[in-house]
């Protein structure tokens, strides 16, 4: 099969012919239709986050937003059949036995695997996946639009859910890009009032088109003042990887507001303890999501409550796509076609 292989950190991916994976007990083999390109893929490929770097499989095939057709099933598989269309997410597997799994936090399982990190991902013509964690895609969704929902969609959904987004809350979304444009739509579907925050007019316009009630320039003091004039944000979800976005987000919160950490700056966040204490600010992290979260997002999309903006590119252009992502030139999500 044709695949884009990571030979070393910080190097272009190598397009190679690789052996076809064999599905074992409880596995399925999917013929890949669409594989989303996520900023986390870039962190893994560039090796700029120590936690990812330590766990990366040698000769890795990246990609954890994958939709394909089941072509073979291994022994013991009962939930999927040949011909089914299914998706594969960041959580390749979870043990089902640890404390986190028993509490419904399978995305926190430390015994589980990670697609496109500890196990080969979807930048290829085929992917082997655990049948237990491959989820059927509703017929109403195209494969291109569905693929990014397995990470960008579920990550935005869980961040908003964990922060308590809903009717009566003002949600400021920092960064109306790949994750942020979905966060705006998901927050609207949850009944929140959305404030789109970005530094480019095009993305602020997109935020308004997707349902934001307000859109302000996050790089200016006037933008911060405008949010405060509204009463401040109950929730600020930062999908941007810029550390400056976190500094601004904290300023935009109302007293007892919640900062939801999603974007991954390379530098550590710097937050004054007094600022947290004085306003009783909460800071929460959010890591992708559970299978139940993914199904909830797919259901939203099938009901046309959210729609992922995607651009399809051939797998041969993967390195060009990654370079564009490094330069911040990708507006929403790119999916690769093998």
In 304-335, which positions are buried (b, 16+ CB within 10 angstroms) versus exposed (e)? eebebbbeebebeebeebbeebeeeebbbbbb
Identical topology for domains 2-150+289-297+307-337 and 153-285? no
pLDDT in tens, 73-91: 999 999 999 999 999 999 9
**Per-residue model confidence (pLDDT) at position 271:** 85
Q: How far apart are CA 118 and CA 112, in angstroms?
A: 9
**Per-residue model confidence (pLDDT) at position 239:** 93
Nearest partner of 227 among 241, 213, 239, judged by Cα: 213
In sequence order, what DSSP letters do the residues of 274-286 get, joined into one string? Answer: HHHHHHT-EEEE-
* CATH ID of 153-285, from 3.40.50.720, 1.10.3720.10, 3.40.50.1950, 3.40.50.300: 3.40.50.720
**Per-residue model confidence (pLDDT) at position 328:** 83
**Per-residue model confidence (pLDDT) at position 200:** 92
Which superfamily, per CATH, for 2-150+289-297+307-337? Medium-chain alcohol dehydrogenases, catalytic domain (3.90.180.10)
Token pair of 210, please? 């997707």
Nearest partner of 115 among 43, 54, 60, judged by Cα: 60
User: How far is residue 110 CA from its own chain's centroid?
Assistant: 19
**Per-residue model confidence (pLDDT) at position 77:** 97
Give the bridge partners for 28, in sequence order.
Answer: 73, 129
Q: How far apart are CA 139 and CA 156, in angstroms?
A: 22
Nearest partner of 301 among 273, 338, 268, 333, judged by Cα: 333
Rg over alpha carbons for the chain, rounded to the nearest Å, is 20
**Per-residue model confidence (pLDDT) at position 100:** 96
* Residue 37 φ then ψ, to 5°: -105, 115
**Per-residue model confidence (pLDDT) at position 186:** 98
Q: How far apart are CA 109 and CA 262, in angstroms?
A: 18
* Residue 60 φ then ψ, to 5°: -75, 140
Q: Kindly give the parts of the chain with pLDDT less than 50.
A: none
**Per-residue model confidence (pLDDT) at position 12:** 97
**Per-residue model confidence (pLDDT) at position 329:** 86
Strands 310-314 and 282-285: unpaired
Can you give the residue ranges of every domain in the chain? 2-150+289-297+307-337, 153-285
């Amino acid at each position: 099969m044709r695949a884009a292989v990571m030979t070393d950190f910080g190097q272009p991916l190598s397009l190679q012919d690789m052996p076809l994976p064999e599905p074992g007990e409880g596995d399925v083999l999917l013929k890949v239709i669409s594989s989303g390109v996520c900023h986390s893929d870039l962190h893994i490929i560039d090796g700029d986050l120590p936690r990812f770097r330590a766990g990366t499989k040698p000769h890795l095939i990246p990609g954890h937003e994958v939709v394909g057709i089941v072509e073979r099933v291994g022994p013991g598989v009962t939930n999927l059949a040949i011909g089914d269309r299914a998706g594969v997410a960041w959580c390749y597997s979870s043990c089902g036995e640890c404390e986190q799994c028993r509490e419904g936090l399978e995305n926190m399982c430390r015994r589980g695997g990670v697609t496109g990190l500890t196990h080969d991902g979807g930048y290829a013509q085929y992917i082997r996946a655990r049948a237990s964690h491959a989820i059927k895609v509703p017929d109403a969704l195209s494969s291109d639009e569905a693929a990014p929902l397995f990470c960008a969609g579920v990550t935005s959904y869980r961040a908003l859910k964990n922060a308590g987004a809903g009717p009566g809350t003002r949600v400021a979304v920092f960064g109306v890009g790949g994750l942020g444009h979905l966060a705006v739509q998901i927050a609207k579907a949850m009944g929140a009032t959305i404030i789109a925050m970005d530094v480019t007019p095009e993305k602020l316009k997109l935020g308004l088109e997707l349902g934001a009630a307000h859109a302000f320039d996050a790089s200016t003091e006037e933008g911060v003042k405008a949010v405060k004039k509204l009463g401040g944000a109950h929730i600020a979800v930062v999908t941007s990887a810029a550390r400056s976005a976190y500094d601004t987000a904290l300023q935009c919160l109302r007293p007892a507001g919640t900062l939801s950490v999603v974007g991954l700056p390379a530098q550590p966040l710097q937050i004054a303890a007094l600022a947290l204490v004085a306003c009783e600010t909460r800071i929460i992290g959010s890591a992708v999501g559970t299978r139940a979260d993914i199904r909830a997002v797919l259901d939203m999309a099938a009901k046309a409550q959210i729609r992922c903006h995607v651009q399809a590119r051939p797998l041969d252009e993967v390195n060009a796509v990654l370079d564009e992502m490094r330069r911040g030139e990708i507006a929403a999500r790119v999916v690769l076609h093998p």
